[in-house]
Amino acid sequence: MRASQKDFENAVNQLKHLKEDPGNEVKLKLYALYKQATEGPCRVPRPGVLDMINKAKWDAWDALGSLPKETARQNYVDLVSSLGSPSESSSQAEPGGAVKQGGCEALVVTREDGITKIMLNRPTKKNAITLQLYQEIMLALEAASKDDSAITVVTGNGDYFSSGNDLNNFTESLPVSPEEKAKNSAVLLRDFVGHFIDFPKPLIAVVNGPAVGIAVTLLGLFDVVYASDKATFHTPFSHLGQTPEGCSSYTFPKIMGSAKASEMLLFGKKITAREACAQGLVAEVFPDSTFQEEVWARLRAYAKIPPNAMRFSKHTIRNREREKLHAVNSEECSILQERWLSKECMNAVVSFLSRRAKL
């Protein structure tokens, strides 16, 4: 039995009351199906390469080809139904599926036993980092640098440490030009990485699962990295027409050698936790079954070490390179700002988004 027009209208209304943002891949599907169900096959001109947001939407709609309106309407209803029941305290949405998440605690900060734990808390989104989450992490680091804890730990909730940038960061429509958006993004990234460079206390990464992009490149700025044997490390920058960030263009060759760093940063080679440990990026790998128990027992012991001694020791170890790291960070962000405006990068990102949006 095919969905009626009333079913379709109810689905559109239900989408306005979802509990969580369904993610950019789903939103592109919803947009395409909505347009196909209401207007039929895509007949509008293809947006220019610089209009990345509308180009991704156009590609998703065009990929539906000659799919009948009735079938698109049924698929739209089915997809909305699969997203779960609505909630009155939820997000706002446009008819095509542009949901804005609100009220979700994406970052959990706790202090106990001399440890400040900063935990990415978007497990259903693989702990992807939104623009807002960048700001929240910086605020958490600022607070942790001044509290009475001895060490600070960054980790993820769920199966992933972090999948890196949320796709919404690339497609979110803002009332600014592409040039202004690229500039603002570069400033945000520079400030974000700068918080890790300047952090005064021992900073430990507890990598509980796969890490991608910025979640990997930042690890060179941590004092110690512990990983589950289920963790992997992936930096697919070149595949997206982009370049390294997080000072990894400097820290990775220094840590693991030029050849191994190039395999990751130039060619996007994904490495296992054991490989990352052998190359010096990770201090120790633990069996996933005992990972949390063993790591946190060790960290609680570290937190009992006189805190000022650790701060001064870190200053002695890191201070010589702080100026160098800030210079590298600025250069990386400047290059990325140019890359984000290049046709090569835009085409690569749009192609990636379009592949994920196909039904």
DSSP string, 10-60: HHHHHHTTBSS---HHHHHHHHHHHHHHHH-S--SPPPPTT-HHHHHHHHH
28-32, 94-98, 238-242, 320-324: the lowest-pLDDT one: 94-98
- What residue ranges do the domains of the chain occupy? 5-102, 107-341
Q: Are strands 271-272 and 232-234 parallel, antiparallel or unpaired?
A: antiparallel
What pLDDT score does 353 carry?
73
List, as own/partner pairs, every contact residues 1-4 make where C-beta atoms lie below 8 angstroms and the sequence separation is at least 24, other chains included: 2/70, 2/71, 2/73, 2/74, 3/70, 3/73, 3/74, 3/76, 3/77, 3/78
The sheet with strand 224-228 has its strands ordered as 107-112, 115-120, 151-156, 203-207, 224-228, 284-286
Mean pLDDT across 332-342: 95
What pLDDT score does 59 carry?
80
| CA–CA–CA angle 132, 247, 285 (5° rounding) | 85
Name the percent of the chain lying above pLDDT 70: 86
The sheet with strand 211-212 has its strands ordered as 211-212, 232-234, 271-272
What are the distances in angstroms from CA 315 to CA 191, 192, 311, 320?
20, 20, 6, 9
CA 214/CA 198 separation, integer angstroms:
17
Top mean-pLDDT range of 68-77, 102-111, 207-216: 207-216
Top mean-pLDDT range of 10-24, 71-85, 130-144: 130-144
Mean pLDDT across 328-351: 92
Name the percent of the chain lying above pLDDT 90: 62
The pLDDT tens digits of the residues spanning 152-183 come to 999 999 999 999 998 666 655 555 688 888 89
| Residue linked to tokens 């609100």 | 102
The pLDDT tens digits of the residues spanning 206-231 come to 999 999 999 999 999 999 999 999 99
pTM for the model: 0.73
**Between these two residues, 299 and 16, which has the higher pLDDT value?**
299
For residue 358, pLDDT over 50 is answered with: yes
Read off the tokens for 249: 């263009």
For residue 254, pLDDT over 70 is answered with: yes
For residue 98, pLDDT over 50 is answered with: no
Q: Please name the fold of domain 5-102.
A: Acyl-CoA Binding Protein (1.20.80)
What pLDDT score does 126 carry?
95
Class of domain 107-341: alpha beta
What pLDDT score does 169 carry?
65
